[in-house]
Amino acid sequence: MAIESINPATGKLLRSFEPLTDNAARQKIALAAESFRTYSLIPLEHRALWMRKLASILEHEIDDLSTLITEEMGKPLAAARLEILKCADVCRYYAEHAARILAAESIPTGDNYSYVRWEPLGVVLAVMPWNFPFWQVFRFLAPALMAGNVALLKHAGNVPQCALAIESLVRRAGFPRGAFQSLLLEIHQVETVLGDERVVAVTVTGSETAGRAIGAQAGWLIKKSVLELGGSDPFIVMPSADLDLAIDTAIRARCVNSGQSCIAAKRFLIADEIYDVFESRFVAGMEAMRVGDPMKQDTDIGPLATVHGIELLEQQIQAATRVGARVLTGGERMLGAGNYFEPTVLTGVPRTSTVYREELFGPVAMLFRVQDINEAIEIANDTPFGLSASAWTREPAEQQRFISELQCGGVFLNAMVASDPRLPFGGIKHSGYGHELSAAGMREFLNAKTVVISSAVSPSDPATKPYMVSAAEPSHSN
């Protein structure tokens, strides 16, 4: 079956690609394995030079790359430009900080000299989603290549042009052939690629279903895996919050990337004494969001990326109303060409319903009235997901309770949830395991090798020379 690139704003076919045959995929894996043997030995400063060049190319070609994103998955053009700039930022972050992150750590162990050195694992498979077709890849690509690993990308089937563009960018920046390759595969071929003994690890960003399948196979194969899956992030507003700022941020947090983001706020838990004001103004704000042509600079919400996505959202809203939820605004697909959906607000979704425990991947918000902080925390944690949370309060005691009691990978106080190259990114529960970004993300695909040198061996003994070869390792006098 062909891999098709379809413009979600018009439904028109842009390009079609034949998936790789299994034999062609094996050849690419062989190239990656061969590349790793030499690439992992390239000095870190050379890799940093290529990574900075990659950042520069991204910035120089931002117009073409952002247009490609918008045409292929429907992201509003202004947001697509920000995505490209963020990719450049993560490249520069790891170019600048890789030496610090990879530096060997001396550890006192009595009379012996001991340290930990960080070594790349090898060929890493990345299974990536369509919603941030460049950023999701680059936040893996930058630390993986700077660490000395090589990568194979299986991108989402609806963004093949983005996948090929990323491979071209990496090569043009100077990275050697085979260091990063995009594999245009059908989903069932992932099992074959991951099963190849030359592939040593896998990272997945996507749905629970994809995470379960690939994580299970990786576990059976005893291969390292990192899973960044779905989210149903709470957005909590307490009486002491700056209500104007909270409401404005809540609207943006629900509609980021047309609502198609794992860290978008999805469940809004509002204190009883401010609930009515919040609901009225939030609904008005959602209705004011401009839905339309993603190529226009003033568009807030573009089309959903796939027909399947809009059909699923319709089914979820219908399921919610059948069990008693009320639609305060929106709730329907917009007429005409393209996968457009009205900004929607639901209230009264029963906590016993199926849809309450699902992720709504589109511009659909669920509002809940809470009596106090205890109920807010209870409902916030009453989800199979645990990615992140945004909580709004000026009370120090409430802030500390949110920090310590919310069950998730990240808590943002009086701020919208966002990823940052400097901070670990990841979730718990059904949102996955492992981390991306920061030092933690880089070290997910590194071997922490313990080295112990007996004090009985003279530092001048030739047997000790190999440990001093790398500039990233400590000298014997440290």
Q: Is the same domain home to 400 and 288?
A: yes
pTM reported for the whole predicted model: 0.95
Q: 282 in a domain, yes or no?
A: yes
Selection from 440, 377, 436, 451 nearest residue 407 by Cα: 377
Distance between CA 3 and CA 166 in Å, rounded?
17
Q: 453 in a domain, yes or no?
A: no
Count CB neighbours of 133 within 10 A.
29
Q: Which helix (H) or strand (E) holds 6?
A: strand 3-6
Catalytic residue among 71, 262, 279, 358: 262
* Both structure tokens of 72: 């292929």
Distance between CA 402 and CA 412 in Å, rounded?
9
Q: Is the same domain home to 239 and 189?
A: no
Q: Is the same domain home to 217 and 310?
A: no
Q: Is the same domain home to 217 and 298?
A: no
**Predicted confidence pLDDT, tens digits, the chain (478 residues):** 899 999 999 999 999 999 999 999 999 999 999 999 999 999 999 999 999 999 999 999 999 999 999 999 999 999 999 999 999 999 999 999 999 999 999 999 998 999 999 999 999 999 999 999 999 999 999 999 999 999 999 999 999 999 999 999 999 999 999 999 999 999 999 999 999 999 999 999 999 999 999 999 999 999 999 999 999 999 999 999 999 999 999 999 999 999 999 999 999 999 999 999 999 999 999 999 999 999 999 999 999 999 999 999 999 999 999 999 999 999 999 988 999 999 999 999 999 999 999 999 999 999 999 999 999 999 999 999 999 999 999 999 999 999 999 999 999 999 999 999 999 999 999 999 999 999 999 999 999 999 999 987 645 544 444 333 344 455 443 4
CATH of the domain at 288: 3.40.309.10
* Contact call for residues 233 and 264 (beta carbons, < 8 A): yes
Catalytic residue among 167, 228, 359, 398: 228
Q: Is the same domain home to 185 and 37?
A: yes
Q: Is 61 a catalytic residue?
A: no
Q: Is 59 a catalytic residue?
A: no
Q: Which domain, by its residues, includes 307? A: 233-413
The residue from 366, 389, 413 where one domain ends is: 413
Selection from 342, 346, 321, 318 nearest residue 332 by Cα: 342
Enumerate the H helices of 268-413 as residue ranges: 272-288, 307-322, 373-381, 396-405
The residue from 209, 228, 247 where one domain ends is: 228
